[in-house]
Structure 1
Amino acid sequence: MTLRLAEPIARHSIASDHPVQLATPLLEVHPGLLLKFESDNPGGSHKVRAARFIVRSAIASGDIVPGHTTVIEKTGGNFGFGLALACQAHNVPVELAVGLEFSAVKRRCLELFGARLIGLDMLERGATPREVVEWHLEQANELERHYFYTDQFHNPASVAAHELETGPEIAMQLKAWPEVKKLTFVSCAGTGASLTGIATALKHAGYAVDVVLVEPQGCDSRNGIFTSHKLEGMSVGVVPPFLDWNLINEVRTVSHEEAMETRQTLARTLGFIAGNTAAACLTVAHTLARSASCEHKVLSLMYDHGLWYLR
């Protein structure tokens, strides 16, 4: 299969007036199915965008003082990579509470990226990552830390990152398909920031956008119903705080087995290993692409690569 590729674009950093290369590829991986390869970002996922935006905004406001402040967060990994990268250039240390159920490979790589993993003894005794962060914030004086809690589930800069950067970037790349007028955006939601930001930006760019929310089998985020599942990064146990439900046209559920079958097919046919949430979304997107046309494409994200999740 020949992939159709949108040209990368240069955009401007929030921190400077010099253009930097931020674009990740947009590929037509199957007739009618466009895939934004966020796995090509530094840090390997779309989460680096929100982390970068939050850190720069906090430095600009004085909430983070380089050389003095330590950033702290609870994360399953991807947002942590983004924080480690965003903070490194500003001499800002990062401390992360990562649940033991998340990929051991991610935990090792977070340390390689320069993050300090905290609260392991607390987590082994049954504490949650949130409780680890709360304890460290309460003990900041004793620990001789001046913490800034990025709090990705309550920080609106997460949405702004995707509404002001990712969404417009996709709209720019869609010029490679000038006939497209309508998009079906197939997405999942952890915080809901990327779905809301991207969908809003694409609508503002003049596209008719239908949004299909993908959830693990047995989950219903709108009504706060969650089951244990292996699709890390989606339906994470809380109603997505930034998800604009007015954007959602349809909800579809996917089993772990279906997602893994899609991941295997993508790897064998195109040579890309999708992360679990990307594979779940692609399961739905591939089906919907059968009704795509020149004017109507299905769009989804390669949130991260699947190497983290191999056991």
Structure 2
Amino acid sequence: MTNHWLRYLKSEKNILPTTASPSSHWTPLREIEPNLLLKLEFDNPGASHKVRAARHIVRCAVQAGHIVPGLTTVIEKTGGNFGFGLVLACSEIGVSVELAVGLSFSPLKRHFLELSGAKLIGIDQLRAGSTPREVVEWHLANAGRLGKSYFYTDQFNNPKNIEAHEYETGAEIAQQLKDLDNIKNISFVSCAGTGAHLTGITRALLSAGYTVDVTLVEPTGCDSRNSIFVEHKFEGMAVGVKPPLLDWDLVSDTVHIDHASMLATKQRIAATQGYIVGNTSAACLAAASALTVQLPKSHKVLTIAYDHGLWYA
């Protein structure tokens, strides 16, 4: 075991309790329009909210002995943002990262993942028609032949994904809301890929004493609850599987946003706020803006700027 690894284990900031502790890096929460609060998660290291879950999952795996620097390679399927989080979390401890990224996802993201130090795996398999999940499963099944000891972070089924957003992201938002005057009711507008951040943030706000209703945003033509999906450009939502970490009992309403409405909102936010948000963030903002009319001062609409829009054509 290297001195670097011992320092990592002994460092106070890396010794987490059984639940995630708030990060020392807080992203802003701003009222960008009357009654509309935007949590600027693109201000995170890695430029998205996914770094929170990636770091928590990696650190818990380290504590449990599932990740050992010098021996373990972390493997995951991702559209990019979770991958950036894994690269950041693993670079702190000298652990390699291998990612299966679907070829339909942002080419710029794939390029920057490689520049950041990730190895993109299964390119030939993906070109031949395999899914990213099938690529990961093949590598796990052939780990011995490949000379690898893999740890699969499995963001779609790992409950620590929810923990990260309940005890870090959501707790952070709840604390920031205390600085606003007399907020009692929150309408949370969110999408769902894994469903972890919607579930975690909502639970945190409820635990903090807020009355919360949740609107799930979906691309037009998709119905994640019933596993109905169409092709769309909103990366990170309605990803082709029913969100496995989404607590559907928390969802009050579902709103469908089309591509034109997303683009119009993206352009409006850039022109009026100076924020170039991603497509998924813009879709949520489109739905959120429609809910802000004639609310009392004690009621705010909350949504998330998941990442910036520079990745996307």
Q: TM-score range by the shorter chain?
A: over 0.9
Separation of aligned partners in 2, 1:221 and 1:175: 33
Q: Report the CA distance between 1:131 and its aligned residue.
A: 1.1
Q: Aligned ranges for residues 27-176 of structure 1 at < 5 Å?
A: 27-176=30-179
Gaps of 5+ in 2: 1-11
Q: Deviations over 1:46-81 (max 9, x none)?
A: 000110010000000011111110000010000000
Length, aligned pairs only? 299
TM-score scaled by length of structure 2 = 0.93
Q: Report the CA distance between 1:170 and its aligned residue.
A: 0.3
The 3-state SS of whatever aligns with 1:291 is coil
1:250 matched to 2:249: no
1:271 matched to 2:274: yes
The 3-state SS of whatever aligns with 2:199 is helix
1:21 matched to 2:24: yes
Summarize the Cα distance change of 1:206–1:266 in structure 2 as closer, same or farther, 3 Å threshold: same
Q: Report the CA distance between 1:179 and its aligned residue.
A: 1.1
Q: Report the CA distance between 1:172 and its aligned residue.
A: 0.6
Q: RMSD of the alignment, in Å?
A: 1.5
CA contact (8 A) 1:84 1:115 kept: yes
Q: Deviations over 1:228-284 (max 9, x none)?
A: 111110011111001111111111000011111100110011110111110000001
1:231 matched to 2:234: yes
Q: Aligned ranges for residues 198-213 of structure 1 at < 5 Å?
A: 198-213=201-216
Gaps of 5+ in 1: 1-11
The amino acid that maps onto 1:72 is I
Q: 1:302 aligns with which of 296, 302, 305?
A: 305
Q: Deviations over 1:195-243 (max 9, x none)?
A: 0000000000000000000000011111111111111100111110011
Summarize the Cα distance change of 1:136–1:19 in structure 2 as closer, same or farther, 3 Å threshold: closer
Q: Give the corresponding residue for 1:7.
A: none
Summarize the Cα distance change of 1:19–1:289 in structure 2 as closer, same or farther, 3 Å threshold: closer
Q: Give the corresponding residue for 1:219.
A: 222
Separation of aligned partners in 1, 2:247 and 2:256: 19
The 3-state SS of whatever aligns with 1:151 is coil
Separation of aligned partners in 1, 2:60 and 2:295: 39
Deviates more, 1:205-214 or 1:284-293: 284-293
Q: Deviations over 1:11-70 (max 9, x none)?
A: x84536999522100000001000000000000100001100100000000111111100
Q: Report the CA distance between 1:127 and its aligned residue.
A: 1.2
Identity score, percent:
61
Q: Report the CA distance between 1:123 and its aligned residue.
A: 1.0
Q: Give the corresponding residue for 1:4.
A: none
The amino acid that maps onto 2:159 is P
